[in-house]
Amino acid sequence: MFRLKTAAAIATLALASTSITADAQKTETPENLASGAAAGAAASAAFAATTAAYIADATYVSPVEATLLGEHAYDSRLPDITAKGRAARVLGWRSTLDTLETIDFGSLSPDDQVDYAMLRNELEYRIWTNDVSQDWAWNPQIYNDIAAGSLYSLAARDFAPWDVRLKSATARMEALPAFIAESRRQLVPARVPQVFAETVAKQNEGIIQIAEEMLAPHKDVLNASDRARFDAALMNLKAVVWEHQQWIEKTLVPQARGEFRLGAERYDQKMKFALMSDLTRPQLKAAALKAKDAARAEMYELAREALRTRIADLPMPPNPSPEQQQLVIEQALKLSYAKRPPREQLEQRARETLAEATEFVRQKGLIRMPDGPVRVITMPKFQQGNSVAYNDPPGVFEKHLQNFYAVSPVPAEWSDEQATSFLSEYNDYMIHDLGIHEAMPGHYLQLDHSNRAPSTLRAMLWSGPFVEGWAVYAEGVMKDEGYLNGDPLFKLTVLKMRLRSITNTLLDIGIQTEGMTRDQAMELMMKGAFQQEREAAGKWVRANLSSVQLLSYFTGYEEHRLLRAEAEQRWGKSFTLRRYHDSVLSFGSPPVKFARALLFGLPVR
């Protein structure tokens, strides 16, 4: 079906291209060419000035984000989260939108057109989030992330000597009491969903962990006066965070009555911004259901291969019933669950598997290797509870600094039974796949390429579906290229992860727009996608805390899969994985439809 659609699309584009060329031949005179060049230069200069002004303003009004990006002029400041501060930001975004309207889109280069479209979407998305969604009134994680991130961003990477960073941290610690107090004034407890209140209650004290474990051990580099100021700021911050914890537990959690489900109307609006696609929710759900069936069918064939010599009396017919398919896949996956690390060695296994995947990619020559270093770290406490792992790249202004592959520890309060459930999910095969997704050749490699693309703006406004879709695509590349000697249990694990990405879409749509209950979600994940109880329980919480983001994995993967198939068709014998990968990642992290336009020289729409 894809090939027919692609052929039709190529034919249509070819006709459009011929028509444009013919029109151009009729009107190409020296005067018109000169006029067009002048218009292009003027539009390019105007857009460059607009993007420079946007970047300068964005880093000024969001100083913690600026630190993460590698802009350190505002390292001692915190953002203004008052109503006045929000109004000023919205005014700036609207002003930039007005400026964009004065720029002739058609006169811009294709690269500038991509950036123009991404900037316009970002500005409209931010205004919608402030005015319509009003996250500032009901999402306490926003304030927790800023507060903890204000110190973590100064401690995590060695962008300056410790005395410089500690003085900035001191200034921020001195400002945090007022920031935290203001966050309480902005939040409306009755609008806060219960799951948000309960989650932030677990994360709040993470800011003190950062100050005491990441900053305080280095305070001896300060002179006596600065060290005394640091100590005083930390002591006061500890008291304020304790006070805030009491407010969370005694006021916010009991009064939290907000609805975490977004609802169809707002979900569709948010989805359009996040995906930058005309795909509708029903279309996306239908595609996910079809992909779910296909993934399970492929998993069944791999399971038959893995079990053929191990369980002789298990019925494994070519055309199984749903019950037979379920049982055979479950039996094969049990073989992978048996190979799991001890609960205290999860992070170390992540290091080992990352090294193995890196060497495989290097030997195969699948893509240009990253320039910047990567390090596996323990996930900071203030980030725990949302996911098992994430990738944290250096900012676009500090490309030479380390990339972090963060792994969440097994919670100390979990029983042995709960830990076994979790580690059965994150067994050795899954840790290999996780490292591929988060690091090599997934996020770490892709975001290293992205940071080195020419457009600073595009590196700041990267597309979630492009980034997450690439990571899922990378898992498939490693499977197809014979990683781990083509072990069928590894291949089965990759498909299980792909099924998870598909299920993420069904889960997100179901929870946020269709009233899916926890029991229904657990059934979908545990039976439909073969997830262990601890993983499914964690994903339920994550799907409550977020909306639309979980769509990125499946939608992005499908877009990357189709783009590669089109490149193979267009390039023929000149297609190689190395050429394709290096080419598609050279554009940064735009929506895949824009990468397609730049890759094949098509109109940017």
How much is the average pLDDT of 76-103?
98
With a cut of 60, say whether residue 8 has pLDDT above it.
no
Q: Which long-range contacts (CB under 8 A, 24 or more apart) does 243-251 make?
A: 244/180, 244/184, 244/204, 245/201, 245/204, 245/205, 247/184, 248/140, 248/197, 248/200, 248/201, 248/204, 249/201, 251/189
The pLDDT assigned to 9 comes to 33
- Give the total residue count for the chain: 605
Helix (H, G, I), strand (E, B) or coil at 437: helix
**Residue 120 within any structural domain of the chain:** yes
| Residues 40 and 165 reside in one and the same domain | no
Percent of the chain with pLDDT over 90: 88
3-state DSSP call for residue 151?
Answer: helix
pLDDT in tens, 407-466: 999 988 989 999 898 898 899 999 999 999 999 999 999 999 999 999 999 999 999 999
Are 225 and 302 in the same domain?
Answer: no
Please give the pLDDT value at position 602: 98
pLDDT of residue 18: 31
Is residue 552 pLDDT above 80, yes or no?
yes
Give me the mean pLDDT over the 85-106 stretch: 98
pLDDT at 386: 62
Name the domain boundary from 113, 133, 153.
133
413 and 450 part of one domain: yes
56 contacts 71 by C-beta, under 8 angstroms:
no
Residue 50 has pLDDT above 90, yes or no: yes
Nearest to 427 by CA among 346, 539, 499: 346
Q: By residue range, what is the domain housing residue 447?
A: 293-598
What is the per-residue DSSP string for 340-385?
A: ---GGGHHHHHHHHHHHHHHHHHHHT-SPPPSS-EEEEEPPGGGTT
Q: Based on the fold, state whether residues 122 and 152 are members of the same structural domain.
A: no
Residue 30: pLDDT band with limits 50, 70, 90:
low
Q: What's the pLDDT at 6?
A: 32
- Asked whether the beta carbons of 331 and 314 are under 8 A apart, the reply is yes
pLDDT at 34: 63
Average pLDDT over residues 511-532: 97
Q: Give the model's pLDDT for residue 210.
A: 96
What is the spatial distance between Cα 127 and Cα 45, in angstroms, rounded to a whole number?
A: 26
Q: Could you give the residue ranges of the DSSP H alpha helices within 72-205? A: 83-101, 110-128, 135-138, 140-155, 162-186, 194-203
The answer on 382 and 365 residing in a single domain is: yes
- Binned at pLDDT 50, 70 and 90, residue 33 comes out as low
Q: Which residue has the tokens 């479950």?
A: 330
**Could you tell me if 129 and 167 lie in one domain?**
no
pLDDT band at 203 (very low <50, low <70, confident <90, very high): very high
Residue matched to tokens 């520890």: 409
**Position 16 pLDDT exceeds 50:** no
Domain assignment present for residue 350? The answer is yes
H or E stretch covering 305: helix 281-307
Residues 105 and 173 in one domain: no
Q: Is the dihedral of CA 125, 157, 474, 296 positive or negative?
A: negative
Q: How many domains does the chain have?
A: 3
> Token pair of 369, please?
């290797």
- R_g over Cα of the chain: 25
Confidence of residue 20 (pLDDT cuts 50, 70, 90): very low
Tens-place pLDDT, residues 122-170: 999 999 999 999 999 999 999 999 999 999 999 999 999 999 999 999 9
pLDDT above 70 (res 27): no
**Nearest-angstrom CA–CA distance, 157 and 377:** 12
Can you give the pLDDT at residue 24?
A: 38
Q: 427 and 337 in contact (C-beta within 8 Å)? A: yes
Lowest mean pLDDT among 68-77, 307-316, 465-474, 517-526: 307-316
pLDDT attached to residue 32: 61
Average pLDDT value for the chain: 93
Q: What is the DSSP letter of 129?
A: I
In one-letter notation, the amino acid at residue 227 is R
Q: 455 with 511, same domain? A: yes
Lowest average pLDDT, out of 17-21, 104-108, 330-334, 486-490, goes to 17-21
Collapsing DSSP states into helix, strand and coil, what is residue 403?
Answer: strand
Same structural domain for residues 86 and 211? Answer: no
| Strand 403-407 versus strand 374-378 pairing type | parallel
CA 267/CA 288 separation, integer angstroms: 17
- Given this model, what pLDDT does residue 535 score? 87
Q: From CA 102, how far away is CA 292, in angstroms rounded?
A: 46
Q: Stretch 500-515: mean pLDDT, rounded?
A: 98
Whether residue 604 lies inside any domain: the answer is: no
Averaged pLDDT for residues 98-105:
98
- 44 pLDDT exceeds 80? yes
pTM of the model: 0.91
Q: Where are the alpha helices (DSSP H) in 370-442?
A: 416-425, 428-438
| DSSP letters for 453-494 | SS-HHHHHS--HHHHHHHHHHHHHHHHHTTGGGG-HHHHHHH
DSSP annotation of 62: -
Which secondary-structure segment (H or E) carries 328? helix 322-337
Instruction: Return d(Cα 269, Cα 124) in angstroms, integer.
Output: 11
What's the sign of the alpha-carbon dihedral 475, 477, 479, 483?
A: negative
156 and 167 housed in the same domain: yes
Residue 588 has pLDDT above 50, yes or no: yes
Over residues 45-72, the mean pLDDT reads 97
Identify whether 459 is part of a domain: yes
Instruction: Mark whether 459 and 560 lie in a shared domain.
Output: yes
404 found inside a domain: yes
Q: What is the pLDDT of residue 31?
A: 63
Confirm whether 23 is domain-assigned: yes
Reported confidence tier of residue 36, pLDDT bands at 50, 70, 90: low
Residues 498, 579, single domain; the answer is yes
